[in-house]
Amino acid sequence: MQKTIAVIRGDGIGPEIVDQALLVLDRIAALYGHEFTYLDVDMGGCAIDKWGDPLPPAMLETCLASHSVLLGAVGGPKWNHVPGPMRPEKGLLRLRAGMEVYSNNRPAKIWPQLACASPLKPEIVDKGIDFLIVRELTGGIYFGRHETVTENGQQVALDELRYSEEEIRRIGRIGFETARKRSRKLCSVEKSNVLDSSRLWKKVMHQLAEEYPDVTLTDMLVDNCAMQIVKDPSQFDVIVTENMFGDILSDEASMITGSIGMIPSSSLGDTTRGLYEPIHGSAPDIAGKDVANPIGTILAAAMMLRYSFDMPREADAIESAVSAVLSQGCRTADILPPQTAGCTLVGCREMGRLILDNLKKG
């Protein structure tokens, strides 16, 4: 199978971690008989330096012409002086808008070898943490009307929370389709005991459930979900929710896994073309020192294979290789435990090499 991938190395540690992910993809291509073509794209601070624009139109067109996009990280203090509309992060927002991605999908998975890094009690962690949050990305209170007015001599702020049936339906489908590729359990999270938008959300989700009889749908109020994620995360498979709730819950979920350096994410829309990236930032303080953890980016590449390219065996092979390296006790600095007995500190390139050594056709 031939696929074209737009590659955004970006800023800070971005080039280092993306390079390791590309080596893994090359090995997958060789093992399974695929052909991956990479198209380099400048975005973020490096694009500002080179082109005076965080995402030049030609670079966006390259992304739109690809089958999917792999992103390292963008931004850093070097560009703090840049005017707001031209900041590195604006390039990312324009990329999401141009790709018309409206679903952010972030897994929360704790690898058994890193269980001690979770802040949760061992008896909770031992039950397993492996779920995915599907967050609506372009609607809700972040994109509604915002204004501050003066009433009766004091300021009053208004933030509008709007959702249409179609906005809910399209993110709901992503949730159901994602659940079909996992354990076929979907939890819809809202606040229907208070909010009209949530009552509509719940109604549409149950309408959609009739089209997915093979997926079990449950409902949960967002405050209860926040508690359940730390009380018993093993109960979840896929969570689908609106923008603000997803923003909060996905950050909570990332912390219970022990390290953001291990977590990938994807952004999807109506097509199979997606944007794949680790959830961490550009970490300019460690850029070029060969100490960054490339696993989040490597797992983002695995997500791309699974969700955009329909290559589940290939994705499984990458995840198995990561697991094997962790079982061997190899750790980058961010996942090295205080008690280092049985663990070996490795750098970014060495971690990538070890994963390649353990990558075998399943």
CA distance 335 to 348: 12
298 neighbors 355 (Cβ within 8 angstroms): yes
CA distance 219 to 189: 6
CA distance 303 to 315: 7
Interacting residues of 94 by C-beta distance below 8 A, sequence separation 6+ = 54, 55, 60
Residue 40 annotated among the catalytic residues of the structure: no
90, 191, 212, 334: the catalytic one is 191
Residue 361: half-sphere exposure toward Cβ, Cα within 13 Å = 7
Query: In the structure encoding, which two tokens stand for residue 95, read together?
Result: 């990329």
Residue 78, helix vs strand vs coil: helix
196, 223, 270, 357: the catalytic one is 223
Q: Which value, to the nearest 10 degrees, does the dihedral of the CA atoms of residues 336, 339, 344, 346 take? A: 30
Q: Which of 278, 175, 194, 296 is nearest to 236 (CA)?
A: 175
Residue 214 annotated among the catalytic residues of the structure: no
Cα–Cα distances (Å) from 91 to 25, 60, 73, 165, 185, in that order, read 25, 9, 11, 29, 35
Residue 191 annotated among the catalytic residues of the structure: yes
Cα–Cα distances (Å) from 20 to 15, 272, 343, in that order, read 9, 24, 21
Residue 247 annotated among the catalytic residues of the structure: yes
CA distance 334 to 316: 24
78, 130, 142, 290: the catalytic one is 142
49, 126, 196, 251: the catalytic one is 251
Interacting residues of 85 by C-beta distance below 8 A, sequence separation 6+ = none
Residue 251 annotated among the catalytic residues of the structure: yes
Q: Which of 74, 106, 129, 104 is nearest to 258 (CA)?
A: 129
212, 247, 276, 334: the catalytic one is 247
CA distance 176 to 351: 35
Q: Which of 347, 350, 354, 355 is nearest to 290 (CA)?
A: 347
Question: Which active-site residues does the annotation give?
Answer: 142, 191, 223, 247, 251
